[in-house]
Amino acid sequence: MAKNLEENRIAKLEKIRALGVDPFGSRFEKTHSLARIRTDFTEDGPALVVRTAGRIILFRSMGKLIFSTIRDATGDLQICLRKDDLPEDFALAKLLDLGDGVGVEGEVGKTRTGEITIFVKKLVLLNKSLLPPPEKWHGLQDVDLRYRQRYVDLAVNPAVMDVFKKRSAIIEHIRQTLLGQEFIEVDTPALQPIYGGAAARPFTTHHNTLDMELFLRISPELYLKRLLVGGMERVFEFARVFRNEGISTKHNPEYTLLEVYQAFGDYNDMMVLTEQLISTAAQKVHGSMVVPYTKKTSGPSHTPEEQTIDIDYTPPWTRLSYTEALARYAGVAADDISAVRSKARQMGLEEKNMDDAVVINKVFEECVEQHLVQPTFVIDYPAGLCPLTRRLPDNPQLALRFEAYVMNMELGNAYTELNDPFVQAENLSGSLAGEDTDETMRVMDDDFIRALKFGMPPAGGLGLGVDRLVMLLTNSPSIRDVILFPLMRPS
C-alpha cells in the first residue's frame, strides 16, 4: 500500500514537471509567519496581504475550490485556493498532496464560518513530498518510530516541536543568567588524551596522524579548572559529553552537561546558583516556579498508572545530609560499614568485592533516591566517592559535595573543589573497586596536577544535566523525548 502511494506521488511529480514547475522549489521570501498573520489580522483594519509558506496538513478539493491547512514552525492556518483567483496555478493546486511544502501570496480574511484564511492569489510549490505522512496527520504515535524519524515527529506532532522550543529557551535563559553574573562561556576539548572528571566508562578512538589513543570526554571538568588556574574566575560550558553506559529513560550515551566554576566560591554558592538557574528557568517557560510532572507508576495489578505531582522549584530547597538520608530511609549509619554491607546483602547486592564507599552509595541509590521528589540538596558525601572534592575540615571522612534531586532523579552535582595538588595526586593514584572498575574518577592526569601546583584558587563547581532538566520542565517521561536524535539500536 505504502509503495503504491509513493508511486502515485512520483507520477504527480512528473505531471508537475510537465507543467514547467520545479517540484523542489527555490528561494521564497516570507513576509509573515502563520502566528504573526493571526496576530496582525483584524476585520476592521486595513487589508492584510501576506507572503508565507508551510507544509500541507489538510487538503479538501471541491472542484473549483480547494481548502487546505498549512503548518509552519509557529502554528497552522487555513488557505483557500479558488480557480478564478489562480488561472495559471490551479492545475498545480490539483496535484498537491499532504506533506507538500507550498508558498502562497494573498489577502487574509475570514470565511463564512469565521475561520481566518489566506485567499491565495499566487501559489508556489516549494517541495514535493514523495512519502505520505503517518495516520493522516493525526500524530505519529509509535514511540520507537518517533525517535528514529524525528523529522516526521516534529512535522506532525506540534507538542514535540513545543518541547524543543522550550529546550532552546531554557538553555538560552541559563546562558544569559550566567553571562549576567560575569561568567565567561568557553569551549574545551571533546577529544581528550586522558579522560577524567567523572566516574564513567569512556568511548575510545584513535588519531591516525599522531598514532595515539584518544577518548571522547566524559566531563569537561579538568579543563575548566585549568582555566581557573589561568585566571578566568568564572567560566561555564554547555558540553556534549559521552559515556559508554546503558540506555534508559534517564540515560543517553551522548548528552548535554552544563558545567560552571566560580573562583573564591564553594558548594554553598553552587546551591544558590542551582536554585536560581532552575527556578527562574521554570518561571521563564511556565510563568510559575510550580511545574507539574507526570510519572508512570505500577498499579495494584501491575498495570501502568500515571501520577501527576506539582514540583515546587521556589528557593530555598530542602538540604539533607547524606548520612541523615541514609539513616532515615535505609535504617543504617554510614559509618557502620558492617551494617551497611548487611543491608546490601539483604538487597541482593554482590558487595563482597566492592570498596566501602561504593557499597554505601549502592544502598543510598536503592533506598534513598525513591524518596527525593521535591527539589532537594543531599550534602556532604562519603569522601571515598569524591576524589576531586575538598573534605570537611572537622571530618575528613566526608566531602563538601552535594547532589540535587528532583522526582527521584539526580539533576546536578557540585563540589567545593579540591585545589591541593598533593592531596589531589594521592586521590587520583588510588583505586576504587566496584562492579565496573574502569568506571572511576581516579585516572592520573599529570598535567592537571602540574596546573594545580601553579595555583588554583578556592572554587565551587557545578555540573547540571541539561537533558534531565528539560525533561522535568517539559513534563517529558524519557530523556529521548528531549534529545532530537537519541542513540537507537539499528532497526
What confidence tens digit (pLDDT) does each residue in 21-30 have? 999 999 999 9
Rounded distance between C-alpha atoms, residue 176 and residue 193, angstroms: 32
Rounded distance between C-alpha atoms, residue 190 and residue 203, angstroms: 11
Closest CA to 463 of 418, 413, 417: 413
Q: How far is CA 306 from CA 142, 174, 311, in A?
A: 19, 30, 15
Torsional sign, CA 294, 295, 299, 302: positive
Q: Residue 60: what residue type?
A: R
Q: Show the DSSP H helices in 139-215 as ranges.
A: 143-148, 150-156, 158-179
Q: Residue 306: what residue type?
A: E
How many other C-beta atoms can be found within 10 angstroms of the C-beta atom of residue 39? 11
Measured torsion, CA atoms of residues 484, 487, 490, 491, in degrees rounded to the nearest 10: -40
Query: Quick one: pLDDT at residue 436?
Result: 45
Closest CA to 336 of 321, 349, 323, 345: 323
Q: What are phi and psi of 138, to 5 degrees?
A: -80, 0
Residue pair 261/229 in contact by the 8 Å Cβ criterion: no
Closest CA to 360 of 273, 277, 432, 423: 432
Strand partners, 378: 320, 403
Residue pair 368/340 in contact by the 8 Å Cβ criterion: no
Closest CA to 278 of 354, 365, 170, 206: 170
Rounded distance between C-alpha atoms, residue 463 and residue 467, angstroms: 12
The residue behind cell 536524535 is 485
Query: Quick one: pLDDT at residue 440?
Result: 56
Query: Quick one: pLDDT at residue 199?
Result: 85
Query: Quick one: pLDDT at residue 491?
Result: 80
∠ Cα 163 216 358 (to 5°)? 85
Query: Within 13 Å, how many C-alpha atoms sit on residue 453's CB side?
Result: 8
Q: Which residues of the chain have a pLDDT value below 70?
A: 1-2, 135-141, 298-303, 431-442
Query: Quick one: pLDDT at residue 1?
Result: 56
Query: Quick one: pLDDT at residue 46?
Result: 93
Query: Quick one: pLDDT at residue 301?
Result: 59
